[in-house]
Amino acid sequence: MKGDYQDLVDEISALLGAPATLENRDFRLIAFGAHDSDDDLAMDPVRTRSILTRQSTADVRSWFEGFGIARATGPVRIPATPDAGVFRGRICLPVRYRGIVQGYVWLLDQEPGKPGPEPAALDAAMEVAQRIGVLLAEEAKAGADLSREFLAVLTAGPGWQQDMAVTALRAALGPDGDGLHAAVCVAPWPGEAPASVPGAAAVCVVPRRGGGEPGGVGPGAAAGPAPAGDPALAVLLRLRSTDALAPALAAAARLLPRAAGATATGGRTAGGKDGSGKGGAGKGGGVGATATAVARAVTAGVADPVRGLVDLPAAWEQAVAAARAAAAQPRFGPVAQWSEIGPYRLLATLVADPVDDPAARTLLTPANRELARTAEVFLDCAGQAGRAAAALGIHRQTLYYRLARVEQLTGLDLDEGEDRLLLHMALKASRLA
């Protein structure tokens, strides 16, 4: 399929006498023609970045979409704008199938004062673009079918239903189904799944189960996390070896700003409000600040590698647990690996509903937030008063006073190991509630 795209891009380049690039509707690079010009203006920052990173930034996408390329049915000329990093004008050939934009072919326009491509050549190039549209539409349909099978595996009940779903996904993936994979969860994920994720065997959006992300009044609860029931993006990434999780972690990190940008633009993915490339941020940018604020609430989790698909449902649970742990505990960072989240490996699995243990109920109210934090730090320090007081920046006598108040409110004896365990679990689990 990739070879077909390259051949068609080369055909357009030959028709118009200019190097062409092909991007999908999410502005991810698919193919590009050879460039042998000595003109430094031809390789401007926007084109260079697109080729080197195989994608465009949100601001670049927004800027080009402002010229109506997603609605156009014929070539669109975009003038040079050095301030935007576009040193040479562009000709955009929208790639459509049955009226729906599938991608874009980009060509460098002639310098001012020089004649551009003849109308007949542009018409011939648009015919080639239509052939590209058919291929992209077929690929999108295959991806949608794969997404459906992937979702079925992650949501099917145990037993024969899950066995059937796994069998169907293996058949859809072909030889890739028996390879090594890592499951990735990104939450919350508004809107539809992205049209493509580099290195992914399958992508889908999974409705979240009860429990949501941490919030409320737990100690150190982050501001603005996802409420219960928010959907998550599930990605099945191909791996080369069990020791090579770096690509999965990097892929998860790249998805975070796409989730944040989608939230900032009202539930649209980076490619548009419905994946059609018609949305995006308004012309002139403005995504950056908002997306950065939203990104604090977006986290990702990466499961341990699995070979084949039988253990995929369990791997997905690991990825979800890691994403929830990342939202609960900032020290894990926005992307957490399941093997690195310590006690949250158990807590995130056990906590399906908000924690409401009677011993900790009063302590976990807003009025007692400082006492809850004191108790958690004390327990994190294995009950060593000197370490806890230093970590909290308070006098040891102040620590003892606060711990006595904790015992009064909870009815627990912090000299008893099981009481300490109960309180420690309740405090940690409250982040996941």
> Residue range 179-203: average pLDDT?
86
Owning domain of residue 388: 358-430
Structure confidence at residue 272 (pLDDT): 37
Report the number of distinct structural domains present in the chain: 3
> Residue range 410-428: average pLDDT?
89
What value, to the nearest 5°, has the Cα angle with vertex 16 and ends 14 and 18? 80
**Same domain flag for 372 and 315:** no
Structure confidence at residue 252 (pLDDT): 84
**Same domain flag for 299 and 390:** no
| Mean confidence (pLDDT) of the chain | 78
**Same domain flag for 133 and 196:** no
Per DSSP, the residues of 420-431 read HHHHHHHHHHHT
**Same domain flag for 344 and 243:** yes
Assigned domain for 130 exists = yes
- Which of 305, 325, 350 is the last residue in one of the domains? 350
Check whether 303 has a pLDDT greater than 70: yes
How far apart CA 429 and CA 185 sit, in angstroms, is 20
Structure confidence at residue 141 (pLDDT): 66
Assigned domain for 66 exists = yes
> Residue range 357-380: average pLDDT?
89
Structure confidence at residue 293 (pLDDT): 34
Q: What is the length of the chain?
A: 433
Structure confidence at residue 394 (pLDDT): 94
**Would strands 306-307 and 180-187 be described as parallel, antiparallel, or unpaired?**
antiparallel
Assigned domain for 212 exists = yes
The dihedral built from the CA positions of residue 122, 125, 131 and 133, taken in this order, carries a sign that is: negative
Considering only 19-23, 115-119, 185-189, which range has the smallest mean pLDDT? 115-119
Check whether 248 has a pLDDT greater than 60: yes
User: Domain holding 404: CATH number?
Assistant: 1.10.10.2840
How far apart CA 322 and CA 17 sit, in angstroms, is 51
Structure confidence at residue 271 (pLDDT): 36
3-class SS of residue 64: helix
Check whether 241 has a pLDDT greater than 50: yes
> Residue range 384-400: average pLDDT?
93
Check whether 57 has a pLDDT greater than 50: yes
**Same domain flag for 322 and 191:** yes
CA distances, 84 to each of 62, 87, 196 (Å): 11, 8, 26
User: Domain holding 51: CATH number?
Assistant: 3.30.450.40
CA distances, 169 to each of 176, 239, 307 (Å): 10, 17, 14
Structure confidence at residue 46 (pLDDT): 62
**Same domain flag for 109 and 182:** no
**Same domain flag for 196 and 307:** yes
Check whether 253 has a pLDDT greater than 90: no
Give residue-wise pLDDT tens across range 207-236.
865 443 333 333 433 333 333 457 899 999
How far apart CA 214 and CA 119 sit, in angstroms, is 58
Structure confidence at residue 278 (pLDDT): 32
Considering only 61-70, 211-220, 306-315, which range has the smallest mean pLDDT? 211-220
* Residue 53: pLDDT band with limits 50, 70, 90: low
Give strand ranges (E) for 231-314.
232-238, 299-302, 306-307
Assigned domain for 94 exists = yes
For residue 291, the tally of other CB atoms under 10 A from its CB is 22
**Same domain flag for 253 and 313:** yes
Q: Which residues contact 121 (CB under 8 A, 6 or more apart)?
A: 15, 16
Q: What are phi and psi of 271, to 5 degrees?
A: -85, -10
Give residue-wise pLDDT tens across range 105-149.
998 877 666 777 889 999 999 999 999 988 887 776 665 668 888
Assigned domain for 162 exists = no
Assigned domain for 170 exists = no
**Same domain flag for 27 and 78:** yes
**Would strands 200-206 and 100-108 be described as parallel, antiparallel, or unpaired?**
unpaired
Which of 103-117, 131-145, 184-198, 405-419 ranks highest by mean pLDDT?
405-419
- Which of 324, 350, 376 is the last residue in one of the domains? 350
Assigned domain for 282 exists = yes
> Residue range 418-423: average pLDDT?
90
Task: With 0.75 as the threshold, say if the pTM is over it.
Answer: no
- Which of 104, 137, 170 is the last residue in one of the domains? 137
**How many CA atoms are closer than 13 Å to the CA of 101, on its beta-carbon side?**
29
Give strand ranges (E) for 45-168.
76-78, 90-97, 100-108
The dihedral built from the CA positions of residue 245, 314, 219 and 408, taken in this order, carries a sign that is: negative
How far apart CA 59 and CA 27 sit, in angstroms, is 11
**Same domain flag for 387 and 336:** no
Say if residues 343 and 351 touch (Cβ distance below 8 Å).
no
> Residue range 381-401: average pLDDT?
93
Q: In the beta sheet, which residues pair with residue 412?
A: none
Assigned domain for 419 exists = yes
Return the higher-pLDDT residue of 300 and 42: 300
**Same domain flag for 324 and 232:** yes
Considering only 40-49, 135-144, 165-174, which range has the smallest mean pLDDT? 40-49
Return the higher-pLDDT residue of 5 and 263: 5
* Of residues 301, 46, 77, the one with CA closest to residue 188: 301
**Same domain flag for 338 and 364:** no
Check whether 44 has a pLDDT greater than 50: yes
